[in-house]
Amino acid sequence: MKSAARHCALISLTRRLSCCCTVMNPLKNSVFPQFLRAKRLSEWEPRFLIEFVERGSFAVMPGNAARLGEGRFAKYLPWLREPTTVAIVGNGPIDCSQALEIDSHDVVVRFNGCRNFGASGYRTDYLVLTNTGEPARQFAFDPHALNAHALKAAGSILLARPPDLVAREVRKFPRDREYWETFDRELVENRIGHKHWSYMRASIYREARATLIRYGAKKSDQPSTGMLALFYLARNFRKRLRSSALTLYGFTHQGWDRHPWNAERALIDDLWRDWIRRAEAPDP
């Protein structure tokens, strides 16, 4: 009886959310229908509902958050707070003493192999993965290429290159076809499983590339997964974050030669200098 009443209360909360929120990025494989069909309430704590707020699918409209705090809904407000700090964790060297600092952020984003997972903390609200080319193949088939603990800890998984983007880029740069070979199905079947995942929008990739070209990148260069994650955050969180609220950890701007590393560094240090700060790198 108690479980049924709780179920009704949470469904009422979802309806209230639909009145108080605006859609920003509806997800194809939304957990909403799954929640409404759920019979084991232990699997569907309010934390899952708030991914519509904190994960970029919904944004609470100014002045409406109070409506969610009336009566029995007040206890859910801690999950509905606006994020004020974000950590984005790269795969470069990180001082182990920064682990607790990283996990204390309202939102923590990691990407690809997560080689620093554990030493750089454990919290993972978003895990952003490339789903094309050789790295994606390794993630899909090599159990050691993608940190299993980071994958398990991830609240939401974002695949960086959606099918419509891939098709367009292959037509535009046919010589780069091998770099755009997709492993979406293999990633989901072999590694992601039943975890919640979605694609980034193609417009994020196009915006990132157009901006990087202004900083010296070539038209054929591909923005790195970390840069795509930053543009995703800029689109979904920047208006709700104060200055210097996003901190970069382990960003060395080194790696595959088709990523415009110098342009990415210049963009961050110029265009986003008031919004992003870099954590101090560990002593060599």
- Name the CA dihedral angle for 93, 95, 98, 100, rounded to a multiple of 10 degrees: 90
Residues of the chain with pLDDT under 70: 1-83, 238-244, 281-284
Q: Which whole-number Å values give the CA distances from 57 to 53, 73, 146, in the listed order?
A: 6, 20, 26
The CA-to-CA distance between both ends of the chain, in Å, stands at: 60
Q: Name the average pLDDT for the chain.
A: 75
Q: Which residues contact 156 (CB under 8 A, 6 or more apart)?
A: 51, 55, 125, 126, 127, 196, 197, 198
pLDDT of res. 279: 83
pLDDT of res. 240: 62
- Please report the DSSP string for 212-259 in residue order: HHTTT--TT----HHHHHHHHHHHHHGGGS-TT-EEEES----S-TTS
pLDDT of res. 82: 60
Domains of the chain plus CATH, in order, are: 2-80 (no CATH), 86-278 (3.90.1480)
pTM of the model: 0.72
Amino acid at 147: N
